[in-house]
């Protein structure tokens, strides 16, 4: 019988006061008779005092005195109303960019979002931003309410233009259901009653759509996840595990596994105050008892044996920074995820997202309201699913342990992949980034392992990167000699030589530099697979190019050697007179002078040619290889 009762829809509204957002909500409350006489009397009084002609329904919503004074919405306000069909909870959020964190807070629990666009102004940057944020939060349904239609004479043309312009933009977003409705919140057109002023619109009213949109379809009923909140032990005879079902369903008798311990057993009963249940589903709060005594505590998770979450202490997530104090790479934070608290830090910001354009920016710092993709490392493994498939096990907050503030909200994208995973992935698909059409990778005729066996040494790649004149070539030549004398099969690939042949068609633009390195990487790969120790000496100034090369080789076979030298020393050395030409402008795009050099972040070896002698450096590198049993 229960299911025939009213259902619940939680939705969020974004837009600024100028768009008429508060007026729209006020209108919804008014039309569903959710405004009390005394509340109405209070805002009527205030409206009169301010000299308005009509009662400002928006005054109902701004709860803090500062907001009423300034006529803006600062924080999320929750509103409640019901129609004969549904109960509604509105998270009403401010629309300005400085309140992005409040928008995200409101969106975090919503099944639907309403974005307001002022018909007079059309699609603004902020309308796009609201779409982007709702898409990041994976809100399944989006209503774009084109408001203030009364001010544009209820023009179909104006409306159509806004719709087509927003549709063009929203193609890029991850939102599956998007509906447009022309309204006038002030006059009430198409809010609860169909408007006579817009006969050209044959869609539903806003309220009708809110009442009928199918939201339960968005729940995850497949993956059973039950994070333990609390262990209930009233006496020796009873031991139950209390929690709320995040996703999936469970029945007594079903086999389960407890994570992270991995112990398995079956469900004995599902206990509630209202009696035992034969099946439980989200979002029920229940108590599970099990058929075997297993040590389980808060933070553990009960799941099905053949449907496990991911387990990792290194993953990537989209986070929104919510604290006045900027993010710092060095800081450790407390990550609260399901019912678990773990220590975490952010080793890397992958990129920051410009919330107005979706463009990605490189940065190391995150300030209030910034949204970024980051890597997260935790002190112990976290049991998660991606946010896309499971909001409950894919979301987390970060807490600063010094201030105890909630400093960020995060949505997990997946395990952070290591180079080995990338190689495995590439092998699986038998493709790399670019491949010629109609070619099939057939594997090596004679494997590297067999060749290594005959050579009696391992294949490896030494990649020397650094400024022109830093001494890369000198070191490389001496290393090769030493290895060759020790009986190794070697090959030296030198920047200048390659540019005389294989890469003779390339210049020094960023694009050509990347292509140069790509070709060299592929060539090094061929020598590597033939069992050689390949020594490559290239300025290779760009991090992403070096990363591409690195991804071609197994982790323990690739050595990035940063040949460091003070730029002033390089200039003085200037073995081929190139700096002189670069400084005079004769050579354009010269690394260190007119083109940047991105220092390696985590090179395997760093040498400093302005401080150490070439002999020492060569001996050290050869020694390292010997100790690690490469030859």
Partner 1 sequence: MNSYTLSYLKQLESESIHIIREVVAEFKNPVMLYSVGKDSSVMLRLAQKAFYPGKFPFPLMHIDTGYKFPEMYEFRDRFCEEIGAKLIVEHNEEWITKECHPLKLGTDKCCGYLKTQGLLDAIKKHEFDAAFGGARREEEKSRAKERVFSLRDEFGQWDPKNQRPELWDLYNARLNEGQSVRVFPLSNWTEVDIWQYIKLEDIPVVPIYFAREREVIRRNGLLIPVSSFSTVENDAKANFSHEETETVMCRFRSLGCIPCTGAIKSEATSFDDIITEVISARKSERENRVIDLGSDSAMEDKKKEGYF
Q: Which residues in 559-578 contact partner 1 (CB under 8 A)?
A: none
Residue 337 binds partner 1 (CB under 8 A): yes
Residue 108 binds partner 1 (CB under 8 A): yes
Residue 272 binds partner 1 (CB under 8 A): yes
Residue 339 binds partner 1 (CB under 8 A): yes
Residue 171 binds partner 1 (CB under 8 A): no
Residue 98 binds partner 1 (CB under 8 A): no
Residue 221 binds partner 1 (CB under 8 A): yes
- How many residues are there in the chain? 631
Counting Cβ atoms within 10 Å, is residue 161 exposed (0-12), middle (13-18) or buried (19+)? Answer: middle
Residue 79 binds partner 1 (CB under 8 A): yes
Query: Which of residues 196, 295, 306, 404 is near partner 1 by CB under 8 A?
Result: 404
Residue 409 binds partner 1 (CB under 8 A): yes
Site string for partner 1, 512-531 (x = CB under 8 A): --------------------
Q: What is the nearest approach in angstroms of partner 1 to the Cβ of residue 279?
A: 7
Residue 127 to residue 120: CA distance in whole angstroms:
13
- CA 252, distance to chain mean position in Å, is 37
Residue 371 to residue 365: CA distance in whole angstroms:
11
β-pairing, 301-303 with 255-259?
antiparallel
Q: What is the nearest approach in angstroms of partner 1 to the Cβ of residue 341?
A: 9
Query: Which of residues 42, 365, 431, 450 is near partner 1 by CB under 8 A?
Result: 42
- Cα–Cα nearest to 361, from 348, 374, 352: 352
φ, ψ of residue 82 to 5 degrees: the values are -140, 155
Residue 219 binds partner 1 (CB under 8 A): yes
SS3 state at 408: strand
Query: Which of residues 20, 94, 240, 309 is near partner 1 by CB under 8 A?
Result: 240
Within 10 angstroms of residue 74's Cβ, the number of other Cβ atoms is 17
* Radius of gyration from C-alpha coordinates of the chain: 31
Residues 6+ apart with CB under 8 A from 327: 321, 346, 349, 365, 366, 367, 370, 407, 408
Site string for partner 1, 19-38 (x = CB under 8 A): -----------------xxx
Q: Which of 416, 468, 532, 540 is catalytic?
A: 540
Query: Which of residues 12, 16, 105, 386 is near partner 1 by CB under 8 A?
Result: 105
Residue 47 binds partner 1 (CB under 8 A): no
Residue 101 binds partner 1 (CB under 8 A): yes
Query: Which of residues 169, 281, 351, 484 is near partner 1 by CB under 8 A?
Result: 281
Query: Which of residues 310, 313, 406, 548 is near partner 1 by CB under 8 A?
Result: 406
Residue 52 binds partner 1 (CB under 8 A): no
- Cα–Cα nearest to 110, from 125, 127, 126, 130: 130
95: tokens are: 């629309």
Q: Catalytic residue at 261?
A: no
Q: What is the nearest approach in angstroms of partner 1 to the Cβ of residue 59?
A: 9
Residue 139 binds partner 1 (CB under 8 A): no
DSSP state of 230: E
- Which contacts of 151-159 are long-range, i.e. CB under 8 A and separated by 24 or more positions? 151/119, 151/120, 152/119, 152/120, 154/182, 154/184, 154/189, 154/195, 154/197, 154/198, 156/198, 156/200, 156/201, 158/119, 159/119, 159/201
DSSP state of 318: E
Residue 232 binds partner 1 (CB under 8 A): yes
- Span near partner 1 by CB under 8 A; candidates 269-277, 414-422, 480-488, 523-531: 269-277
- Cα–Cα nearest to 461, from 352, 562, 536, 564: 536
Site string for partner 1, 422-441 (x = CB under 8 A): --------------------
SS3 state at 182: strand
Residue 279 binds partner 1 (CB under 8 A): yes
Query: Which of residues 94, 131, 392, 541 is near partner 1 by CB under 8 A?
Result: 392
Residue 285 binds partner 1 (CB under 8 A): yes
- Cα–Cα nearest to 544, from 492, 596, 475, 605: 596
Query: Which of residues 405, 432, 530, 595 is near partner 1 by CB under 8 A?
Result: 405
Number of residues that bind partner 1 (CB under 8 A): 79
Residue 444 binds partner 1 (CB under 8 A): no
194: tokens are: 């169909």
- Span near partner 1 by CB under 8 A; candidates 240-248, 342-350, 449-457, 462-470: 240-248
Residue 65 binds partner 1 (CB under 8 A): yes
- Cα–Cα nearest to 377, from 343, 344, 335, 354: 344
Closer residue to partner 1, CB minimum distance, 244 or 573: 244
Residue 202 binds partner 1 (CB under 8 A): no
Residues labelled as active-site residues: 540
């Amino acid at each position: 019988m229960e299911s025939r009762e009213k259902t619940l829809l939680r939705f969020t509204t974004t837009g600024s006061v100028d768009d008429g957002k508060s007026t729209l909500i006020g209108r919804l409350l008014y039309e569903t008779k959710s405004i009390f006489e005394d509340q109405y009397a209070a805002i009527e009084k205030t409206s009169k005092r301010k000299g308005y002609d009509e009662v400002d329904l928006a005054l109902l919503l701004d709860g803090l005195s500062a907001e009423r004074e300034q006529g803006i919405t600062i924080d999320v306000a929750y509103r409640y109303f019901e129609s004969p069909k549904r109960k509604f909870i509105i998270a009403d959020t401010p629309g300005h960019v400085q309140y992005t964190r409040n928008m995200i807070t409101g969106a975090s629990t919503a099944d639907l979002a309403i974005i307001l666009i002022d018909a007079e102004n059309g699609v603004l940057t902020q309308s796009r931003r609201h779409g982007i944020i709702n898409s990041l939060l994976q809100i399944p349904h989006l209503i774009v309410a084109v408001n203030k239609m009364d001010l544009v004479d209820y023009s179909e043309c104006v409306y159509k233009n806004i719709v087509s312009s927003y549709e063009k933009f929203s193609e890029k977003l991850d939102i599956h259901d998007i509906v447009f409705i022309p309204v006038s919140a002030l006059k009430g057109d198409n809010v609860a009653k169909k408007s006579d002023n817009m006969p050209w619109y044959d869609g539903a009213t806003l309220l009708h759509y809110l009442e009928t949109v199918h939201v339960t379809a968005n729940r995850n009923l497949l993956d059973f996840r039950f994070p333990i909140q609390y262990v209930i032990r009233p006496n020796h005879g009873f031991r139950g595990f209390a929690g709320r079902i995040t996703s999936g369903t469970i029945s007594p008798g079903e086999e389960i596994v407890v994570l992270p311990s991995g112990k398995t057993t079956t469900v004995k009963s599902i206990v509630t105050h209202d009696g035992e249940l034969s099946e439980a589903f989200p979002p029920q709060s229940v108590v599970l008892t099990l058929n075997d005594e297993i040590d389980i505590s808060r933070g553990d998770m009960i799941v099905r044996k053949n449907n496990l979450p991911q387990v990792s202490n290194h993953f990537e997530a989209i986070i929104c920074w919510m604290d006045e104090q900027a993010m710092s790479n060095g800081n450790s934070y407390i990550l609260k995820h399901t019912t678990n608290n773990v220590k975490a830090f952010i080793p890397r910001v992958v990129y920051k997202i410009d919330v107005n354009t979706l463009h990605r920016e490189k940065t190391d710092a995150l300030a209030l309201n910034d949204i970024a993709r980051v890597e997260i490392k935790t002190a112990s493994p976290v049991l998660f699913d991606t946010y896309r498939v499971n909001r409950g096990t894919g979301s987390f907050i970060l807490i600063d342990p010094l201030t105890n503030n909630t400093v960020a909200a995060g949505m997990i994208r997946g395990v952070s992949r290591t180079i080995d995973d990338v190689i495995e992935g590439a092998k699986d698909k038998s493709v790399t980034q670019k491949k010629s059409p109609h070619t099939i990778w057939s594997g090596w005729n004679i494997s590297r392992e067999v060749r290594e066996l005959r050579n009696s040494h391992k294949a490896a790649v030494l990649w020397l990167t650094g400024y022109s004149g830093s001494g890369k070539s000198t070191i490389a030549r001496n290393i090769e000699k030493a290895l060759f004398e020790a009986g190794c099969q070697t090959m030296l690939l030198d920047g200048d030589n390659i540019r005389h042949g294989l890469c003779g068609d390339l210049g020094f633009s960023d694009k050509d530099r990347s292509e140069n390195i790509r070709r060299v990487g592929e060539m090094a790969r061929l020598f590597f697979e033939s069992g050689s120790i390949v020594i490559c000496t290239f300025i290779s100034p760009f991090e992403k190019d070096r990363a591409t090369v690195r991804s071609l080789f197994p982790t323990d076979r690739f050595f990035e050697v940063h040949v460091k030298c003070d730029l002033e020393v390089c200039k003085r050395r200037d073995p081929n007179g190139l700096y002189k030409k670069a400084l005079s402008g004769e050579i354009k795009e010269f690394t260190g002078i007119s083109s940047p050099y991105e220092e390696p972040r985590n090179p395997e070896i760093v040498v400093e040619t302005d401080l150490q002698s070439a002999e020492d450096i060569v001996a050290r590198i050869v020694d390292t290889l010997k100790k690690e049993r490469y030859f």
